[in-house]
Amino acid sequence: MPANSSKGTRNERKLVNLLYEDNFGVMRAPASGGATERELPDVFAGDGTNFYAIEAKSSSEGPIYIDRNEIDCLNFFAQKFNAQSKVGVKFDIKNGDPAYGDDDNPGWYFFDPDELYVTSTGNYRVKKEKALQDGESYSEFIEP
Amino acid sequence: MPANSSKGTRNERKLVNLLYEDNFGVMRAPASGGATERELPDVFAGDGTNFYAIEAKSSSEGPIYIDRNEIDCLNFFAQKFNAQSKVGVKFDIKNGDPAYGDDDNPGWYFFDPDELYVTSTGNYRVKKEKALQDGESYSEFIEP
């Protein structure tokens, strides 16, 4: 869970809307309910050729941590749908910071899970600098 | 919308759980929220080989009607994910009626949209008799 959950939810909904505007079919995990939800990606998107199971994480500034279990679940789900697992990160810093994003760049950066740094406890971490340097920007992501 | 929406929701959740127990990855549309929801299937399920976008409809007894627009949306979504469109119907009559289902048969019957009867107004209709006679039972559906 992001530190600020409602902000995280809003960012996630914006990502869904962006993908939809860019002609993807998009499904977002229900906020609560069924037995299977712990294993669902935040966003599932497809353009007819490429299918992505996306774990979407926001941070107000600090590094983003992702539990190994979440990635295992993401990969499990992706395998069921012949999709690619992706981790999307967004740092909500302030306007003017390239990590914040603007009209041309919504500020999301995407990684394959196996590109992420693994911590000593076996979980995953993404720092803002890593995202900016090595992540796929949104526009790169949607035109692979 | 089914006449009894909460019963319809419960049936839909049961279907999600059944598919999950049978080793499918399953995603259920959020109950409310984003801009894209009108075009989402009720259930999206995949077993690694077959992918299904499912419109799930329950009725307490009478025929089930599905708007043409819902089917158009289902097909649009399915095409984005290289999935098959399916309409799943369940008639909640009473115990002992084969349409009600039992432990061996949960009472769902599945159709490809183009197998459905088209009404004079261009929408779709499924009668209980048609479901029992021509629909794929749940066990047929999961082992195509």
| CB distance B47 to B23 below 8 Å | yes
Instruction: State how far residue A40 is from chain B, nearest Cα, in angstroms.
Output: 7
Band of pLDDT at residue A117, cut at 50, 70 and 90: very high
Residues A36-45: pLDDT tens digits? 555 789 999 9
pLDDT of B15 reads 93
Please give the model's pTM, rounded to 2 decimal places.
0.83
Percent of chain A surpassing pLDDT 70:
82
Q: Chain B: residue nearest A44 by CA?
A: B27
Instruction: Look up the CATH number of the domain holding residue A19.
Output: 3.40.1350.10
**Interface residue B38 vs chain A (CB under 8 A):** no
Based on the structure, what is the number of domains in chain B?
A: 1
Q: Give catalytic residues of B, as residue numbers.
A: 32
Helix (H) or strand (E) holding B18: helix B5-21
By C-alpha distance, the chain A residue nearest B79 is A48
Q: Which domain holds residue A44?
A: 5-142
Please give the pLDDT value at position A97.
60
> Interface pTM (ipTM) of the complex?
0.77
Q: How many CB pairs under 8 A join A and B?
A: 78
How many residues are recorded in chain A? 144
B16/A36 CB distance under 8 A: yes
Residue A117, φ and ψ in degrees, nearest 5: -70, 135
The pLDDT of B112-127, averaged and rounded, is: 96
Q: Of B13, B36, B76, which has the smallest distance from its Cβ to A16's Cβ? A: B36
pLDDT, mean of residues B119-138: 95
Count of C-beta atoms within a 10 Å radius of residue A121? 9
